[in-house]
Chain A
Amino acid sequence: DVKVTQSSRYLVKRTGEKVFLECVQDMDHENMFWYRQDPGLGLRLIYFSYDVKMKEKGDIPEGYSVSREKKERFSLILESASTNQTSMYLCASSLRQYQETQYFGPGTRLLVL
């Protein structure tokens, strides 16, 4: 079974703080993704990575950055958190092609005050 884990299920941060969300997958998947999910807007892709140290912008990269230093780990960074970044953040991975079946982590619900 593919396992994708995320560092926190719930997180509360203050405006202006730097926030790190960590994601780890244990199945040697090439591709990893970060989404945010908001009511009425669905899943929106923030960034994805198809290889170590490689990253590509998704649909809504503004205010976010990512890091993939190791194949199994993909980090999402909010450089200066804002209230409009309050959301559910979901990490996913896929085996070879980024169009293949994605396996999701449990999500991190982030509240920025």
Chain B
Amino acid sequence: GQNIDQPTEMTATEGAIVQINCTYQTSGFNGLFWYQQHAGEAPTFLSYNVLDGLEEKGRFSSFLSRSKGYSYLLLKELQMKDSASYLCAVNSGNTPLVFGKGTRLSVIA
């Protein structure tokens, strides 16, 4: 079976750092995506990890541990506009992407 777990909701303060975790159990693994989705809008691609380690892209970083079936998205210097849902998705091989249910992040002043 395919299973992806993320926290449902998180709240963080403007200017702070927040880490959104994703654990997965899938029949295969060829990479993990993170998407951002603002309310009422389409998901947009943030990052893709296929090898273990940290990938940094400006204020956002994504980490992968394949042996632990674990990833996290790290957002630094939080801004109000970072309030959104963050979706974790796994490329499990010969099937379309498997999406988690998403984590709704609220950034407060």
Contact = CB atoms under 8 A, between A and B. Distances in A.
A90 B96 contact: no
A104 to B, nearest CB: 4
Contacts of A103: 45
Majority SS at the chain B contact face: loop
A68 to B, nearest CB: 15
A104 B93 contact: no
Contacts of B108: none
Contacts of B99: 42-43
B89 to A, nearest CB: 8
Contacts of A104: 42-44
Interface string A70-113: 00000000000000000000100000001111111111010000
A106 B41 contact: yes
Given A42-B87, A42-B102, A43-B87, A102 B97 contact: yes
A43 B93 CA distance: 19
A41 B33 CA distance: 18
Nearest to B98: A45
Interface of A: 4, 33, 40-43, 45, 48, 58, 90, 98-107, 109
